[in-house]
Chain A
Amino acid sequence: MTQMTEPDVVTAPGTDPQPVIEMRDISITFGAVRALDEVSLRLFPGEVHALMGENGAGKSTLIKALTGVYTIDEGTVLVEGESHEFHSPAASQAAGISTVYQEVNLVPNLTVAENMLLGREPRRFGAISVREMNRRARRTLLHLGVDIDPRSVLDEHPIAVQQLVAIARAVDVEAKVLILDEPTSSLDADEVEKLFTVMRRLRDEGVAIVFVSHFLDQIYEIADRMTILRNGRLVEERMVAETTQLELVRLMIGRELETLERLDREAPNTEAESGTPVLKAVGLGRKNTLEATDLELFEGEVVGIAGLLGSGRTELARLLFGADHADTGELTVRSEKRRLRSPRHAIDRRIAFSSEDRKAEGVVQDLTVADNMLLALQASRGWLRPIPQATRTKLVTEYIKALDIRPADPTALMRNLSGGNQQKVLLARWLITQPDILILDEPTRGIDIGAKAQIQAKVAELAAQGMSVVFISAELEEVLRLSDRLVVMRDRRKIDERRNDDVSVRDVLEIIAGEAHPEGDPHA
């Protein structure tokens, strides 16, 4: 039902020397962590400004500083040249800054018009004038080129339309700045195009748009200027047209090309790639999450998955484990065709999966280290068959020692451990189940160097003992160091697969940036 007008001609960003927003040397500290360190951002009217960076770069923190959710410790915010301090989202909105978040922050049970105008409904004699409200909503929607009935209930519409309604709500207050935080992460290509049409229209009317997306193609299609962040610091502000994709990826990941030499690494395990694969996915995919993907995993092999955040690396791992349901494709585990309906099924087939979201999907904060370690094994045995005390003690002591977990106290509560030690406990949780296939999604994120090296060593050791490992990490060096075979993903697709001999970080960067000619699958 949505109908779009033709996109307008893309014009060069405004040459107005006065930015509508200027954030200067912003610093924010959370406890001991410096989330933003003297970051600056300039937004000009009539431009789409991409905010780029990997996990933990500080994008969300910067946005929340601008929208008044977080208080700024140091630095100034200028709105049209005048200094402002935002202590609440309302204050920021009053200054003309509107935000649309990734998860649509509207109420699903009310109509489109109400969602656009809640809190500022037109009234006659004190009562809300529904007719006037619908009229005004339709006018705004049509102005954006969105033709839907404002009287329809919001959750009757697909997410893409809801996203547009959220934008319409933001625009209705005559926003000077519109922040779109990952609006495209769950949209398909057509829906993205509709969104871009609306964005171009607003830009041409002089709105400054901040756009966050993990899809490089989208950035190059829509953005005029970009600010790149890394580890809470400003890397550079660039014009999109003057930056190649390779440069952009390099800036985001943060390696100078000169130093990107191959790291010392043992020769890949080539004998492994023979016989029947222990795990084989054919056309595995899920709507709006992952395009149909093939993957083979052999005994004793480490397959590394490289790709940026949002490239589909995590999504693939979750489908392999049955944490999410696949819409298409089939999965063969040890020549047995299986639809993995749940993690339980996967674990019964000796697959283990450690999620990237340690806090929400890994640790059980209020249980002890011992309980956390034994959770998966105990879950497999069922509650009626507790692990005998002697076995418990033996397993827990053994793994605390093997992985050097500190404090070496099985009765310590999980919440009192550092991130690195929590990660080791989670690794132990899965190793105790003696899996054949181990899927590790960012097992070394946000942990200290020592713990990282220990985990890497353990993974290499396990593979040498015959375990098959899928290793996902945002750090390319790490993936290259550990893996026998490399899968590169981008924009929810597998774009390349090659044996890891003579592959350098630079090669991978070029593949991700779309500048290399992909090799075929070595098995093809």
Chain B
Amino acid sequence: MPESPTLVVRVLRHPLMWPVLALGVLLVINVGVKPSFLDVRMQDGHLYGNVVDIMRNSAPVMLVALGMTLVIATRGIDLSVGAIAAIAAAVACTRIIGAGDEAALSTAVMAMTYAVVVCIALGAWNGLLVSVLGIQPIIATLILMVAGRGISMAITDGQITTVNNPWFSDLASGFVLTLPLAFLVAIGVLAFTAVLTRRTALGMLIESVGINPEASRLAGVRSRTIIWTVYAFSGFCAGLAGLVIAANTNSVNANSLGLWIELDAILAVVIGGTSLAGGRFSLMGTFIGALFIATLTRTIPNIGIPSDLNYLFKAVVVIAVCLLQSPKARAVLRAGRPSSPRPVPAKAGSPA
């Protein structure tokens, strides 16, 4: 290998290479089937087209996935995000209905603020179980995953609640600067997360705790605070996502709102190159991962397959990505190619 790798090699080695490539392949397939797929037109000062739809539809998953990225980086997982999203929607909708002026801007803002605060509290509850009681993340968040939809139904009294507030529905269908507001909110949270983690020391400390918890403890890192913070943040993100979803239909169905969004979010994180084993995380990777999922959802009807079948394709993606990340699978792949070095034998572990 030469001392300074060429541009091509550097691009090929870039961690975002694979997610971007996968997204590119999807787009090429779409254009191949329907050449006008990427067309964007201007109407009433708004942009319309498949690409714009993909942006808007990616927002909820992107929001949830940003919080999930930080949780996964600490070696955790948050299964409760779908339930938290349903609770956020329920809280906001019942607040809007209960307000004096249902259609007012202040009503929408108050309701959404209230919902988000509730969700941060729920996230902090998960953080409490994980960091203070030391319960495994998957188990700790399972509790709220089970109970959350019940709580959401209790808030809406088991009814599908419909609201009528134009400001609220703008969150999903509105446009700002020709772009969908929902997407801009997601971008905003992405930027906020980037600043939160990379302009403070949070990102470095999260990675440190995720890579080597014991070394971090001995270096004096307060991992309890860190873990607590990321779960609360994940609750915040899930709450926003719930609001966007509810705004999209102007209603909340506690049973189905945000169903399986935790799985989509985990998928987005994994596609983006953040390892489920924790450690280094990539917010841009998660961003592209969420776009990939939204594009996939759009691709399936576009190439003439019933959209309900997207689960099948997601299954394939999950397996493919996991196999690509699995060291064992890589070893098998490498062993198949005679030119490359053989996998390291088991004894190569440290001789201690």
Contacts and interface: CB of A to CB of B under 8 A. Distances in A.
A323 interface: yes
Contacts of B215: 360-364
B202 A360 contact: no
A190 B352 CA distance: 30
B2 interface: no
6 A-B pairs with least C-beta separation = A347-B220, A35-B351, A379-B221, A383-B202, A379-B220, A386-B201
Contacts of B207: 364, 366-367, 371
Nearest to B205: A383
A375 B218 CA distance: 10
6 contacts: A30-B348, A347-B220, A362-B218, A367-B211, A371-B207, A383-B225
A71 B208 contact: no
Interface of A: 28, 30-31, 33, 35, 58, 60-61, 69-71, 321, 323, 342-344, 346-348, 353, 355, 359-367, 371, 375-376, 378-387, 429
Contacts of A384: 200-202
A364 B205 contact: no
A379 B219 contact: yes
A256 B279 CA distance: 48
B199 A363 contact: no
Contacts of A70: 347
Given A371-B208, A384-B200, A386-B199, A343 B351 contact: no
B132 to A, nearest CB: 14
Interface string B204-217: 11011001101111
B351 A375 contact: no
Contacts of A381: 201
Contacts of B208: 364, 367, 371, 375
A376 B200 contact: no
A58 B201 CA distance: 42
B345 A71 contact: yes
For B214, B216, B220, B350, the residue with the greatest tally of chain A CB atoms inside 10 Å of its CB is B220
Contact of A376 (B204, B220, B225, B351): B220
Nearest to B345: A71
B226 interface: yes
Interface of B: 199-202, 204-205, 207-208, 211-212, 214-222, 225-226, 229, 279-280, 345, 347-348, 350-352
A70 B349 CA distance: 10
Given A363-B215, A367-B208, A375 B221 contact: yes
For A61, A342, A347, A375, the residue with the greatest tally of chain B CB atoms inside 10 Å of its CB is A375
A520 B122 CA distance: 61
A364 B201 contact: no
B217 A343 contact: yes
B347 A30 contact: yes
Given A30-B347, A343-B219, A346-B220, 6 more contacts: A30-B351, A371-B204, A375-B204, A382-B225, A383-B226, A429-B219
Contact of B211 (A35, A346, A365, A386): A365
Contacts of A346: 220
A387 B201 contact: yes
Nearest to B347: A70
A340 to B, nearest CB: 12
Given A366-B207, A366-B279, A367-B208, A382 B217 contact: no
B201 A361 contact: no
A344 B220 CA distance: 4
Q: Is the interface of A mostly helix, strand, loop or mixed?
A: mixed
A31 B341 CA distance: 14
Contact of B201 (A30, A35, A383, A429): A383
A35 B347 CA distance: 11
A31 B201 CA distance: 37
Contacts of B221: 375, 379
Q: Is the interface of B mostly helix, strand, loop or mixed?
A: helix
Contacts of A362: 215, 218
A522 B350 CA distance: 42
For A33, A362, A367, the residue with the greatest tally of chain B CB atoms inside 10 Å of its CB is A367
Contact of A343 (B202, B218, B229): B218
B220 A343 contact: yes
A348 B348 CA distance: 40
Contacts of A386: 199-201
Contacts of A353: 218
Nearest to A380: B220
Contacts of A361: 214-215, 218
A378 B202 CA distance: 10
Nearest to B204: A371
B347 A71 contact: yes
Contacts of A364: 207-208, 211-212, 215-216
A362 B214 CA distance: 8
B348 A31 contact: yes
A355 B220 CA distance: 13
A28 B349 CA distance: 13
B131 to A, nearest CB: 14
Given A364-B208, A386-B199, A379 B222 contact: yes
A27 to B, nearest CB: 13
Contacts of A28: 347, 351
A366 B280 contact: yes
A361 B207 CA distance: 15
Contacts of A342: 217
Nearest to A359: B350
Nearest to A31: B348
Nearest to A232: B351
For A33, A343, A366, the residue with the greatest tally of chain B CB atoms inside 10 Å of its CB is A366
Contacts of B229: 383
Nearest to B209: A364
Nearest to B226: A383
Contact of B222 (A355, A382, A429): A382
Contacts of B214: 360-361
Nearest to B212: A364
Nearest to B344: A31
A378 B351 contact: no
A71 B206 CA distance: 39
Contacts of B211: 364-367
Contact of A383 (B200, B212, B218, B345): B200
A386 B196 CA distance: 11
A360 B213 CA distance: 9
A355 B212 CA distance: 14
Contacts of A355: 218
Contacts of B225: 382-383
A419 to B, nearest CB: 11
A342 B214 CA distance: 12
Contacts of B217: 342-343
B228 to A, nearest CB: 11
A343 B212 CA distance: 15
A366 B216 CA distance: 13
A31 B345 CA distance: 10
A344 B222 contact: yes
Contacts of A375: 204, 208, 216, 219, 221
A376 B214 CA distance: 13
Nearest to B275: A366
Contacts of A367: 204, 207-208, 211
A461 B221 CA distance: 28
A344 B207 CA distance: 18
B32 to A, nearest CB: 39
B205 A378 contact: yes
B47 to A, nearest CB: 38
Contacts of B226: 383
A60 B351 contact: yes
A61 B220 contact: no
Contacts of B205: 378-379, 383
Contacts of A379: 205, 216, 219-222
A381 B351 CA distance: 38
A28 to B, nearest CB: 8
A512 B278 CA distance: 44
